[in-house]
Structure 1
Amino acid sequence: MIEDIARKIIFDIKPYVPGKPIEEVERELGIKDVIKMASNENPFGPSPRALEAMREALHKISMYPDGNCFYLKDMLAEMLFVEPDNLVVGNGSDEILKLLAEAFLDPGDEIVIAQPSFSEYEFVGKIMGANCVFVPLKDFTHDLESMGRAVTEKTKIVFICNPNNPTGTIVTKAETDDFLKQLDPRVLVVFDEAYYEYVEDEDYPQSLDYVGEGQNVIVLRTFSKIYGLAGQRIGYGIAKPDIISALHRVREPFNVNLLAQVAALAAVEDQEHLEKSIQGNREGKDFLFSWFEKKGINYVPTQANFIFLQVGVDSQEVFQEMMKLGVIVRTGDIFGHPDFIRITVGTMQENRRFTECLEKVLRNQKAKL
């Protein structure tokens, strides 16, 4: 039996379950015109410059990509006011999470994670045999004070998802400064900032300052969200050179494909598309917030491109009924909130369709009670 030869720890790992793909829903239900508001993708798509860059590079795909991502790192270094040796590029920031675990965790080490938060932190920790210490959110936000108290001599890594997935909340600069001051400097802090570009709160910490101060931190960002390149799988981390060097020791060669690299380079240069995406998200949030308040639906104010809202009935039933109407959402039960759903802010057309469908589903669900 496979259980006799596989590593025992892997049977304690819950596989990641992504948002349901549009193609799968259309195939299973025999419907068309499905919209996906489940995986926090950019509804405005990638930069036209990124698409053109990939088209122009297609003739090169018989060649291996640049394993060092030289040109992309050079541009990112200039944009972020860091040096290229402060950067690592990965096959999505998910890969960098796995590299961190492989480079820094031994069996029996501890990692500290907010709950609920991004499930990949638990996944990469358990792969390496680390023990996960979960600290409940406070008012849907990381409780940094309690997370600090959860640190022991066995703690190797603390994960801070900022803004937090699934709640969209942030920890402030003052809270983060206090947390780092009291933390054992040997503990590595991972600031996962996948939704960094969407944040508008002035109290948001500028985490690259901690890197510049030489602290034991790494900041993760991605091209999957606001840059609209989720399908190309490319993200990056910023840290002091010795942390980056450790990650390169466990990084696979040619881990970032050629088309992803050229697309990311072009996307960084297209500030117009970035601003369009930010403005579209802002308008979408305002519309949805207003609708929720009008309908008496509780929601968590977000600094990201998704909203965590309380539907008041079984989220799995809402998910199934919304899917029949051609709208894919994310259930809250996987985050420990069975009467919540998480939705991506879409285009205005998608947002209006979502509200119309949700109103119909909730009316039908409540009629059953």
Structure 2
Amino acid sequence: MGTRKRVVHGALDEHELAALGVSPGNLLDFSSNLNPFGPPAGVRAALAALDPAPYPDRSCVRLRQALAERHACEPEAILPGNGANELIHLVARALLHPGDTVLVIGPTYGEYAYASELMGAHVVAFQTQPERAFQPDGPALSALMHTLRPRLTWLCTPNNPTGVVLASAILQTLLAIAAGDGGYLILDRSYSDLQRTATAALSETSSPHLITLHSLTKSYALAGLRLGYLLASPELSARVGTFQPTWSVSSAAQAAGLAALSDPTFLASTRSPLWAASEMLSTGLAELGLPVWRAALPFVLVRTGDGAATRAALLGRGCVVRDCTSFGLPAWVRVAPRRPDENRRLLAAWKETR
């Protein structure tokens, strides 16, 4: 099948920085969609107390139980993973065969298509447009699903990079179409905790044709530990889990996840300052004369005309933003808010490029 080009991601790439002669310690990263007010204090305490010598609990029993309580489901419905990214690849391995058709609703995270292509699937993209507020044409999407009969339909809601949320009625329609054709709807809900106001999706274990992905790395700022989980019917969760390597979720990730989940105030107390930082950033960018798009998530899209050039110009001034060319949006960059003083540094650097 040959070597496939890896997916482009945000965050700092030390190989790239070394080639440019740039020290990562001198950069502010606005390309990663993380809660800048995390992680919770209890996470740091749990990691400090961790004995790294024993093997991790390969069944993640305590973590599964805590997540089951959070979602009011049975622990067998939950499969923790080494970040949602690992789970995307496990789903593709468990459910796809060479020649299957896969539908990806974009612009969105590149690993859905990449994981599917690695399994020999034929990937079809349904690309939403900024002129329609990045909202899909519901009848057109439904008609395409009826025509393609995809084995997997990948949908991120709230979406990365657009922040768009699809109404539960639309999701229910897509699930019904997928189930009717023997396929699966994969909902990536990794960013749902960062919404200003929670929105309903679907009952996460209600259908044997639905898989929901979640991440603790964004809302709790645990990206370096890699921790996500999926919810599905117990049978489907077990099917996906057979492809997961033993000890995939480290002791550190499990301890951090348990500490984060046991903190009842962290998300509520940081969501307000996070959105205040987003408001500050959006206003400042608009005052520079830049077209800004923001939906249900605190990060923003900024239309600069040349995302790659904008990223390079800001990188030279100590700030990293996400060039959206790999999303199919070459005129845009994505910017995640940080703390107010750091946002001011970005706005000052951006002003220098004007």
Distance 2:134 2:140 in 1: 14
Correspondence for 2:98:
107
Percent identical among aligned pairs is 27
1:23-79 superposed Cα distances (whole Å, 9 cap, x missing partner): 66487235853100012122223111011101111x2x2211101100000011111
TM-score in terms of structure 2 length: 0.92
Asked if 1:79 corresponds to 2:70, the answer is yes
Give the partner amino acid of 2:219.
Answer: I
User: Where do 1:42-53 residues align within 5 Å?
Assistant: 42-53=35-46
User: Where do 1:241-256 residues align within 5 Å?
Assistant: 241-256=234-249
Distance 1:23 1:350 in 2: 21
1:133-161 superposed Cα distances (whole Å, 9 cap, x missing partner): 10011432344443322224651110110
1:61-110 superposed Cα distances (whole Å, 9 cap, x missing partner): 22111011000000111111000011000010111111111110000001
1:220 partner SS:
strand
Give the partner amino acid of 1:322.
Answer: L
CA RMSD of aligned residues (A): 2.0
User: Where do 1:208-287 residues align within 5 Å?
Assistant: 209-211=203-205, 213-287=206-280
1:305 partner SS:
coil
Alpha carbons of 1:246 and 1:22: their partners in 2 closer, same or farther (altered >3 Å)?
closer
1:140 to 134, 141, 145: 134
**Is the CA contact 1:37–1:328 (under 8 Å) kept in the aligned structure 2?**
yes
User: Where do 1:1-369 residues align within 5 Å?
Assistant: 8=1, 10-11=2-3, 13-21=4-12, 25=17, 28-29=21-22, 33-57=26-50, 59=51, 61-138=52-129, 139-151=133-145, 152=147, 154-185=149-180, 186-201=182-197, 204-207=199-202, 209-211=203-205, 213-312=206-305, 314-361=306-353, 363=354
Distance 1:255 1:301 in 2: 35
Distance 2:179 2:228 in 1: 28
Correspondence for 1:367:
none
2:280 partner SS:
helix
Distance 1:100 1:267 in 2: 26
Alpha carbons of 1:192 and 1:31: their partners in 2 closer, same or farther (altered >3 Å)?
closer
Give the partner amino acid of 1:172.
Answer: A
Give the partner amino acid of 2:101.
Answer: E
Shift of residue 315, structure 1, vs aligned partner = 1.7
Give the partner amino acid of 1:318.
Answer: T
Runs of 4+ that moved beyond 6 A:
none
Alpha carbons of 1:345 and 1:157: their partners in 2 closer, same or farther (altered >3 Å)?
same
1:292 partner SS:
helix
Q: Which runs of 5+ in 1 are unaligned?
A: 1-7, 364-369
Distance 2:187 2:23 in 1: 42
Alpha carbons of 1:275 and 1:135: their partners in 2 closer, same or farther (altered >3 Å)?
same
Shift of residue 279, structure 1, vs aligned partner = 1.5
TM-score in terms of structure 1 length: 0.88
Distance 2:251 2:280 in 1: 39
Alpha carbons of 1:349 and 1:280: their partners in 2 closer, same or farther (altered >3 Å)?
same
1:302 partner SS:
coil
1:230 partner SS:
coil
Alpha carbons of 1:287 and 1:173: their partners in 2 closer, same or farther (altered >3 Å)?
same
Q: Which runs of 5+ in 2 are unaligned?
A: none
Correspondence for 1:3:
none
1:139-191 superposed Cα distances (whole Å, 9 cap, x missing partner): 32344443322224651110110111111111112322333344443211111
1:233 partner SS:
coil
1:274-324 superposed Cα distances (whole Å, 9 cap, x missing partner): 223311221012112222333332222232232111123x22121111011
Give the partner amino acid of 2:54.
Answer: M
**Is the CA contact 1:148–1:183 (under 8 Å) kept in the aligned structure 2?**
no
Give the partner amino acid of 1:335.
Answer: F
1:271 partner SS:
coil
More helix by share: 1
Alpha carbons of 1:227 and 1:86: their partners in 2 closer, same or farther (altered >3 Å)?
same
**Is the CA contact 2:37–2:274 (under 8 Å) kept in the aligned structure 1?**
no
